[in-house]
Structure 1
């Protein structure tokens, strides 16, 4: 079926094709031109990705893809592949959002714009502009707020964790990451969520990814399917493992900040220098 476009309340644009579902907002005199540019760029995206799907489901660091979205995906995970198993699919939602946003910005006349791909969001802010959004868990539970201002160096927000659209090696309820691009945030959120873990804990049930999803890019690697009771100390230990990974990414300049959530407990890694970007509810 072809891609479809529709207007939503609040004069937002909805684009959908197969598993890709975007909600887009824009402010400025170039809004209508930007919406048209987004629709044009979106139409062939799924076919472009499908053409390289076997490569994109392979571990990062191998043959380089050729499509623009696929290249964004590969670039986002390349910096992590020496320390983690990761495939370009870890950044697919963020890379799609970045690509569509880039087409909108190129059309000109925008003060502020965003492309939300299932909770992974690419953001454009002209000088003096700001973007504020709630931080929600993968079950839509409100967890806090994000405020990003032009000049913060943050162009993407992404959330990952157990129970989301993708499988996870970890036990985090959710992890939200801020980064320079949505693709970078998407990849990092996946890996930080994987790191929120208690390896070998008897309350954590896992099964090979392929048994849950035959075409999973994770193959036979065990992914989390359920988490039983945890003590407060165990919850804290799992979060600290994830926080250590987030700190390493921040120190390497790969992310701006992160918020990690598990069983009602939270760890926040504030951007440096500290801004209003991450605020716990």
Structure 2
């Protein structure tokens, strides 16, 4: 496990596939206490998940999986609404981890605001009067290559908003995608819920075209929980009608999740075009302000 304190004042905790950027605002003693709590909760967290990995990679069925750990249970809970399609609790792992660490921090000390960013899946804490501006990217690939690439826009989350979780998914993300979205950013009441929904919406951003190439997930990663399900590996040039059709499919999925109160809003990006769904996502700001990443 590597830990550090970057010059920006943000705490960095990393082990295996988990990479957390943490920031807390409050009195100096409270911030120190919260950071200590984050370190303590993070220690052994990966081992905790690996112990239940067999069930976490197993597709959900008619009954909830018999997982025991609090993070594993949170993952299963966030994935449960999507059990009508192929889904495993791993769909919410990044968001659930962010939630767990943030929860430990908030319980340990009074903080004005705080966030835990786990590779783009963010858990938020806001006290009355506080807000946070979250950067929205148009392409996971561009952000991953540039590292410091400027966000396309910002979404302001105020303390009165129900949004406490934000997640981004897409075909160039850390996980495989069934869809062709460059990026799908979801705003929800929890980070685990946002994580699961972002994946589901990103999977729905798709269309039929010879420019889209897919391969079974197992061929790319023998340990993938997706098995032989085809995932997108390449997207060539698409006609305008195909782009609009794919974004429209994603919009339908997002609107259905808003109707079910599973998310508050979503921003979809494909080949430079955007779709904004839900009031929470329409509060995008001009570039400027603070990012949780």
Sort the TM-score into its range (normalised by shorter chain): over 0.9
Q: Once structures 1 and 2 are overlaid, which stretch shifts more, 208-217 or 84-93?
A: 84-93
Q: In the comparison of the two structures, how many residue pairs are matched?
A: 275
Aligned-residue offset at 1:65:
1.0
Asked whether the 8 Å contact 1:64–1:74 carries over to 2, the reply is no
**Could you give the per-residue CA deviations for residues 133-155 of structure 1, whole angstroms, max 9, x where no partner exists?**
21123121532211100020001
Extract unaligned runs of 5+ from structure 2: 144-148, 288-293
Extract unaligned runs of 5+ from structure 1: none
SS at match of 1:214: coil
Asked whether the 8 Å contact 1:168–1:223 carries over to 2, the reply is yes
Q: Alignment partner for residue 173 of structure 1, among 179, 182, 186?
A: 182
**Could you give the per-residue CA deviations for residues 8-54 of structure 1, whole angstroms, max 9, x where no partner exists?**
12211110111111010000121110000000000111000111111
Q: Distance in 2 between matches of 1:232 and 1:275?
A: 23
Q: Distance in 1 between matches of 2:197 and 2:65?
A: 21
**Could you give the per-residue CA deviations for residues 144-181 of structure 1, whole angstroms, max 9, x where no partner exists?**
21110002000111000101100000000110000001
Q: Once structures 1 and 2 are overlaid, which stretch shifts more, 206-215 or 138-147?
A: 138-147
Q: Once structures 1 and 2 are overlaid, which stretch shifts more, 69-78 or 52-61?
A: 52-61
SS at match of 2:34: helix
Tell me the residue number matched to 1:127: 128
**Could you give the per-residue CA deviations for residues 95-138 of structure 1, whole angstroms, max 9, x where no partner exists?**
00000000000012100000000111100000110001211231
Aligned-residue offset at 1:279:
4.3
Give the alignment of 1:112-191 within 5 angstroms: 112-136=113-137, 137-138=139-140, 139-140=142-143, 142-191=151-200
Aligned-residue offset at 1:228:
1.5
Q: What is the RMSD computed on CA atoms of the aligned residues?
A: 1.4
SS at match of 2:32: helix
Tell me the residue number matched to 1:65: 67
Q: Distance in 2 between matches of 1:208 and 1:280?
A: 40
TM (normalized to structure 1)? 0.94
Asked if residue 206 in structure 1 is aligned to residue 206 in structure 2, the reply is no
